Amino acid sequence: MPGTFDRARGRALTREVSPEFADAVSSYFKTREPDFEAAKRSQEAYFAALRAHGTEVVTLPAIRGYPDCSFTEDTAVIIDDKALIPNLGHPSRDGEQESIAEYLDDSFEIARMPKGATLDGGDVVFYDDRFLVGISTRTNREGASFLADHAKEAGFGVQLLDVPESTLHLTTVCSSPRTGTIVAAEGHLRSPDLSFAEEIIWIPAEESYAANTIAYGDRLIIAEGYKKARQLMMDAGFSVTTLEMGEFREVDASLTCLSVFIG
Ligand code: CIR
């Protein structure tokens, strides 16, 4: 069945938090100096939650000089048996993808993006028969079109969405936890742009950070501290686990940023 692979959560490729974490890029949520030890504790809890839901967690070492290297979601997009390796959209992050590509080379056909095209995996949301691709400060049209060529070749559609200046990535304000369903943050995304979705769970703007979800069937992981969002998810039939994400939020990273699912 098309898309089965893309909703699989068998293995997650992750990376240790960088000791230089305090220097991670942050343009939206920062309120204070991010703390490396606290981030490590959060990451451990995140790994434990993935494992508890049946995921095998593979963790690569941090890369020196790359404070954002634990956000592996941005470094590869898996489409069936292919791993698309992007040029990351922020100059301080471009290069993180190299050892990811090396790791994936054993089990995937590697497709590298041409020069000039940029894309962060955080701008890609898989929805059933299509990939939603955000055009953002990180992902340009050439990057999206590279992804579109590969997605179409594999039988999927592609839908471009403008990521507003109010947010970093598409996944910061949007996820698709089950077939037919989109979770979207009010004030960031517009319903006409999501008219293809069978169901949209709108998260109030003040809790937009909780629109980023990881689903295992009807079991959902969301960030801790977002009561309205949690209730909305439960009303929609999900059982919900929450994880403390405060340290990662300081550097604009959400739950999904911490892994790329590879099987
Ligand atoms: C960045 O600005 O690139 C990092 N500080 C946060 C990356 C978050 N990744 C994601 O949303 N997929």
Residue-level pLDDT at 219: 97
Residue-level pLDDT at 3: 59
The answer to whether the CB of 172 is under 6 A from ligand 1 is yes
The answer to whether the CB of 90 is under 6 A from ligand 1 is yes
Residue-level pLDDT at 29: 81
The answer to whether the CB of 96 is under 6 A from ligand 1 is no
The answer to whether the CB of 169 is under 6 A from ligand 1 is yes
What separation in Å is there between the alpha carbon of 93 and the centre of ligand 1?
Answer: 9
Domains of the chain: 4-261 (3.75.10.10)
Residue-level pLDDT at 100: 98
> pTM surpassing 0.75?
yes
SS (H, E, C) the chain: CCCCHHHCCCEEEEECCCCCHHHCCCCCCCCCCCCHHHHHHHHHHHHHHHHHCCCEEEEECCCCCCCCCCCHHHHCEEECCEEEECCCCCCCCCCCHHHHHHHHCCCCEEEECCCCCCCCHHHEEEECCEEEEEECCCCCHHHHHHHHHHHHHCCCEEEEEECCCCCCCCCCCEEEEECCEEEEECCCCCHHHHCCCCEEEEECHHHHHHHCCEEECCEEEEECCCHHHHHHHHHCCCEEEEECCHHHHCCCCCHHHHCEECC
* Smallest CA separation from ligand 1 atom 2, residue: 25
Residue-level pLDDT at 5: 63
The answer to whether the CB of 122 is under 6 A from ligand 1 is yes
Residue-level pLDDT at 46: 98
- pLDDT mean values, one per 10 residues, the chain (263 residues): 71 98 91 94 98 98 98 97 97 97 97 98 96 98 98 96 95 96 97 96 98 97 98 98 97 98 95
Could you count the other beta carbons within 10 Å of the beta carbon of residue 109?
Answer: 13
